[in-house]
Structure 1
């Protein structure tokens, strides 16, 4: 065989320029009246592709950092201009029977020119625009590629009418509770020039299953015949019956015709997870141009979600071969697994199946909602995706819901989820709008939705991590009534899923009902959303402790970012604790998530920003921990929890996220990680405050996901000096599919010197050494504000000792740009009072940081060994400081440890 003739050249990277214009000016060029050149609102400037206009303007000095203070208000003009990207390059010497220009990320409405000739127009950011450049292509000719974007459409943000939605553009850009209005414009994904031979591989489907002891890999590949057809404006004109029924033109996106030629064959090779060749098959396409086969793998290595097993990936390679050459090739990785869906235990007969079963094992969902990683999503680098995936994996998450108000993510995220065992819940791009939430049925919208949905289905179905499709976020046919498949919009999407990915569950929307929001009414909740606040003491514990929903696909608790992050985007004049009503700047960065009154009521006066952040993060972690444990106690009557939200796309003072914009994990992240451990002991309670001497009887639970185990739980009641006031032990054997009540911790609420007492649980499994104690439950016998004594704790003394030097993790070279450095520390409390919420902080601000343990509590005389992992920050936007490359290469992370209210106590001994 000769080398294959199909080739691709990525046109991204260097050499792009950008210029802004008033609307229509780039098409006119010169003034009709006086003949002068219409010069535009900017000069040509360097541009990033993939990327977006805003960051290029910032780099050119034409835009102030839009993430700082109120600056984004002064950037809203950007969305109202036209923008032209251009790149000059020499056409490759190689040419194919067909030359295609493939634009995978035009955001949003664009015209594409090749040496001044219009190749076509495109509308929509999720479907690739594919243009035939064959007639215009001259090998080694100088080419000017010009992409002209019209102004962004004026779509609705979080508040508006869903029924009037008319675009397939990221809705959160137009203002959401966790973001501002900053509407992205530009080329947000790759642009590729492709030379195709007489034949090429088209659509591809790779699905897996398990039958008995045999793994099945089903491969279906479309073979396309290339070459000009008709007037040469596009490669082929065949459209699906569904597209024709919707009246879709598919302009600029047509695909090649199907081939029926016995001279070509598809050679399929399968490599096992160790890289050894396991199978080879040769398939001749049928008369419709489809080459299909099923590969049987005996005793396969099975793919499991994180926490339930390993994630071995097989590699499938396809080569389209002719008599004299290889025309095309494709390669992907997949996992072998059996995926099923069943109703929950004791589920109502009309409920949807919310329990996911992988390889015969029920998977309890421990998930989080993922927003886009950045407001300017075209500028997100693979390194940022990689670190976010690591945060999810090490946070014990096994599912990410990719939310319908955001974007259909880039392939790298799905690849990472395949590798890490993180299931994907993918929503199509629709979301509620508050005034009405009914799915849009506008005649200009449904074809766009169908096209982007079909493109997403075909592009993402080959990922083993993909588990659920959903019609969108919080779509409702009436207040508090989620929409169903009776809706024309959702019925259309269900048909597309049935056609293109029939093996996966499609839910009409999230929440899927029959009521939208969590309620204390019994017997009516299946999949619900809410709430998003700490609901107060004792209401929070009553609401979540008595709920009976089958699935909890969105809920949250709000809390401040850390001071280290807040200082990056809030000017010094605004760095003081205030309620949102008293600060426009704070309101601009998290208006909905004001915790000032909540935290003042529980702790007392917020005198410093550091104190406010400490108190707010405490209550966020407390509120989430209780919800997660309450849901898990009903496993598999309840099939899982999906927290709102893992991340945020722009920096907020306060939000419901676990990880802030700068990738700094909050206390809630570590609290969720502990609550989602596979082996977990937990406590149930109905409030945080008790009367001294009051009889307490608190249920103790144990869960061991995926295993039966003998569990020993030791429960201790302590005071702030570390004195054990009461202790009990509980021992029973758990089962994989239950959270088992072991008994009740019974004692009288103690009278302590400061009014605080602590309960902590230590779990030992199957006779193994007990793990470190879990984060304590902190109660008070004082009147409001019940947690005020925590602000005056004194006597704890923090001492830290580094063990060894920084070392690169296994698999990372010390000098590599992507090195992850690790170091261990011994952290001790050498004082005579408790230290609350001890955590590491990286001082150079050049590294993302993730610790093996953080926000843990040390009683007097206790110590903890903590491993800290750091990776060089890269790809972050709007950085206001810089350092020399030499210093950056030499410096290693600098870790300090802090604790709750440390600024007031000031007892840190490095």
Structure 2
């Protein structure tokens, strides 16, 4: 089988009123019905909105309130067309295959109806062999009907009737902008007389379960050499006969050959067997000293290539290639879990994996235009952020194949949900016959295409499905039992969870014994409530929660018109409400800091509280490893630009402060302070425990704690020594002092963990901020922050390797007060940027070296304008550093050519 991509052909699209392209001419006048647009150039994969924008027919839908003027698009019918040449080698059969039609389509070729298709997640395949026998070129036409009237976030899940991505219809992090288009690849698939059908690839390994060694590093994260064990790769392969070749079976001697090549390209194993039409052929490959695959932070990710060859009478008629890792996958109960709890702890190669996860929404509201580069940037941020699992959320997408390949390559475990989600009015899984038929079809397609990825560890029936308020649905629900049975049949080695959260209660609770797998909350709970709730919780698995915060000022200016760039409540601004109604933090932040004077100040303060609130939850959960099996943050990204949201990375690919504090809290070696409030009286005792977190036991560590004021005066110092514990957090000691009297009402507790182990790079210190103020907690920060002054000098030239530009900087605080939350900004807007250390605190006279990494932007759709500018420019990255509330600095030397 060969696939020939035809998405790059010259496609056009034209809009019509419903039914008009079927009718064609006016019944009354007999004249052609012209449609609502002319023929426009179309992007494939893509979507109608971006093509209309390029043609000047709609305003940029992500700016201000413009999307409200674009809602007519979903109510029209759209006709795509192109011409395709006959393949040079036609084989026995040629199929026209659409890998993603969105949503209800009628497909024509050569003026003939091929068929109709409904659904986003299973292929539409049509036999065009006979048509190509008649002509050398074939006109393809795809008529997309208007979008179905599906449920938004608020509605009735029980009334759901489609398998269309529902966040498009309005969610708390998106607007209503319903995509229509050909959202995935279009190919001609050429078959010979016999073909390899579905393949199920499963790997397993015999490992030393007592081994706890992790021995190498990459980028400061612990990376095992991977370890070795006896590996096995099992292949269940279907063999198909092409209809036009019927009769050749008796004459053909069919053989199936499987070859496995190790990560260095050497042949590691080979098997061959007789193949028969219509049944499964099973092949097992054994690799005596297999290089084992581990999640990010626990080891390396060596990938083997598996090649399948189908031969008829000694001639290869089909072949497939797969990349996979070899690992042993298991699931076990949490320590101290109730008998009725599900097994929430994942084991890889005999080692329990503490989940440091993120939830992922679709990357773009108009997801057909997402590029491989955007997937790569998202996964890079996961890997660099010490994340080891991504939950692909059920209100979004079964993502394109490239995401799963990148997760395989970077050690990011995948939790994939089927396409169902709660709706608020009721959250009961739909039992509509039409829906169940579509759900089964899309689930079956997802299982066949995603199960061969080594990174996949969990299937889930959907998001927040509940049989009654605060009670997650279980397998007594026929909808979820259907999905469970499909997973058992087609991917029996992986865990199926009925829904997320999986109960027995939906939301986090203070009541003990009920918090198994829970969601919530998504707001900072206030002081001291936030710290009491999360610090004393006993949940087994925290699979969704978050804290909201504003986007960076650079991003806010991209989609907010000048008239809307002042601090304001979403209660009073329609534009702000349109970009994040649920996530208004003005009242919260003014209570903590005092009045917000500028948008930049508001952004800085809001991001601080988001980072503070999120860090505490992550550290509190991690202190209970493996009573708690992990945290999955809501959410990594956002599909359109919000003023404020619970995301770690904004629509433009800019990581927020919370991303970097997550990165630190998820580090392979980290120390945390366990506290229960932010406000103290002068002289009040402070007695709280310190914990060391590590992915490996037996690491000698030293923890140093300094209690400081913002001028850098040291009021207390303590030092602790210990050795990291086996699969649990180490309580290394108690910090005990009395709160000093400081001029600005703030007390800084700086905590550093060090080890002489060379395979653990030194992590930057964590800083905790406490208040002794009688007024707003952090009001003093708005005063003294103006006295900080960061000075930057570049150290070394930009270095380029594999599309990445890296430069080293040294930053100094030349002011008289602490420079809080020092961070880099890229000025040209031609690059995505991350750093090894960001949003850190420098006391007066201190310096810090920072490595900055820049990747040229490669976004699609409405981000393509930034990409075009990057491709047309040879400008090097330009970096500035600023601290909390500090004006942007410009006093650094530029490289030659800037």
TM-score of the two chains, using structure 2 as the length reference: 0.95
For residue 22 of structure 1, report the CA deviation from its aligned partner. 0.4
Residue correspondence of structure 1 range 368-407 to structure 2 within 5 A: 368-407=358-397
1:506-548 per-position Cα deviation (integer Å, ceiling 9, x unaligned): 0000000000000011111100000000000110000101110
Could you tell me which residue of structure 2 aligns to residue 782 of structure 1?
773
For residue 734 of structure 1, report the CA deviation from its aligned partner. 1.7
Residue correspondence of structure 1 range 623-772 to structure 2 within 5 A: 623-766=613-756, 771=762
Q: Distance in 1 between matches of 2:517 and 2:584?
A: 27
For residue 288 of structure 1, report the CA deviation from its aligned partner. 3.8
Residue correspondence of structure 1 range 335-350 to structure 2 within 5 A: 335-350=325-340
Could you tell me which residue of structure 2 aligns to residue 126 of structure 1?
121
Could you tell me which residue of structure 2 aligns to residue 797 of structure 1?
789
- The alignment covers a number of residue pairs equal to 870
Which one of the candidate residues 179, 187, 191 is aligned to 2:182?
Answer: 187
Which one of the candidate residues 466, 470, 478 is aligned to 1:480?
Answer: 470
**How large is the Cα RMSD of the aligned pairs?**
1.8
Quick check: 190-199 or 165-174, which moved more? 190-199
Q: Distance in 1 between matches of 2:617 and 2:338?
A: 23
Q: Secondary structure at the match of 1:299?
A: strand
1:311-352 per-position Cα deviation (integer Å, ceiling 9, x unaligned): 000000011111153211100100000000000000100000
Conserved 8 A contact 1:714-1:763: yes
For residue 291 of structure 1, report the CA deviation from its aligned partner. 1.9
For residue 888 of structure 1, report the CA deviation from its aligned partner. 3.5
The question of 1:893 aligning with 2:877 is answered yes
Q: Distance in 2 between matches of 1:324 and 1:695?
A: 82
Could you tell me which residue of structure 1 aligns to residue 215 of structure 2?
none
Q: Distance in 2 between matches of 1:628 and 1:883?
A: 35
List gaps (5 residues or longer) in structure 1.
1-5, 230-255, 813-818
Q: Distance in 1 between matches of 2:326 and 2:250?
A: 31
Conserved 8 A contact 1:83-1:150: yes
1:810-839 per-position Cα deviation (integer Å, ceiling 9, x unaligned): xx2xxxxxx211111001112221100000
Q: Secondary structure at the match of 2:787?
A: coil
For residue 299 of structure 1, report the CA deviation from its aligned partner. 1.5
Could you tell me which residue of structure 1 aligns to residue 53 of structure 2?
58
Could you tell me which residue of structure 1 aligns to residue 226 of structure 2?
none
Residue correspondence of structure 1 range 122-271 to structure 2 within 5 A: 122-138=117-133, 141-212=136-207, 213-228=229-244, 263-271=253-261
For residue 286 of structure 1, report the CA deviation from its aligned partner. 4.2
Residue correspondence of structure 1 range 235-634 to structure 2 within 5 A: 263-286=253-276, 288-323=278-313, 325-634=315-624
Could you tell me which residue of structure 2 aligns to residue 857 of structure 1?
841
For residue 138 of structure 1, report the CA deviation from its aligned partner. 2.3
Q: Secondary structure at the match of 1:693?
A: coil
Quick one: structure 1 residues 691 and 88, their matched pair in 2 at CA, closer, same or farther if it must change by over 3 Å? same
For residue 750 of structure 1, report the CA deviation from its aligned partner. 0.6
Could you tell me which residue of structure 2 aligns to residue 84 of structure 1?
79
Quick one: structure 1 residues 261 and 580, their matched pair in 2 at CA, closer, same or farther if it must change by over 3 Å? farther
Q: Distance in 1 between matches of 2:251 and 2:717?
A: 78
Quick one: structure 1 residues 668 and 258, their matched pair in 2 at CA, closer, same or farther if it must change by over 3 Å? farther
1:580-612 per-position Cα deviation (integer Å, ceiling 9, x unaligned): 011000000000000000000000010000000
Could you tell me which residue of structure 1 aligns to residue 211 of structure 2?
none
1:771-822 per-position Cα deviation (integer Å, ceiling 9, x unaligned): 354231011100231101100114322111111221112xx2xxxxxx2111
Quick check: 761-770 or 150-159, which moved more? 761-770
Q: Distance in 2 between matches of 1:164 and 1:551?
A: 30
Q: Distance in 1 between matches of 2:788 and 2:79?
A: 61
For residue 696 of structure 1, report the CA deviation from its aligned partner. 0.9
Q: Distance in 2 between matches of 1:620 and 1:710?
A: 33
Conserved 8 A contact 2:241-2:277: no
Quick one: structure 1 residues 257 and 278, their matched pair in 2 at CA, closer, same or farther if it must change by over 3 Å? farther
Q: Secondary structure at the match of 1:300?
A: strand
Q: Distance in 1 between matches of 2:65 and 2:540?
A: 42
Conserved 8 A contact 2:16-2:77: yes
Quick one: structure 1 residues 860 and 124, their matched pair in 2 at CA, closer, same or farther if it must change by over 3 Å? same
Q: Secondary structure at the match of 2:698?
A: coil
Conserved 8 A contact 2:793-2:892: no
For residue 907 of structure 1, report the CA deviation from its aligned partner. 10
Conserved 8 A contact 1:269-1:280: yes
For residue 887 of structure 1, report the CA deviation from its aligned partner. 8.3
TM-score of the two chains, using structure 1 as the length reference: 0.94
The question of 1:875 aligning with 2:866 is answered no
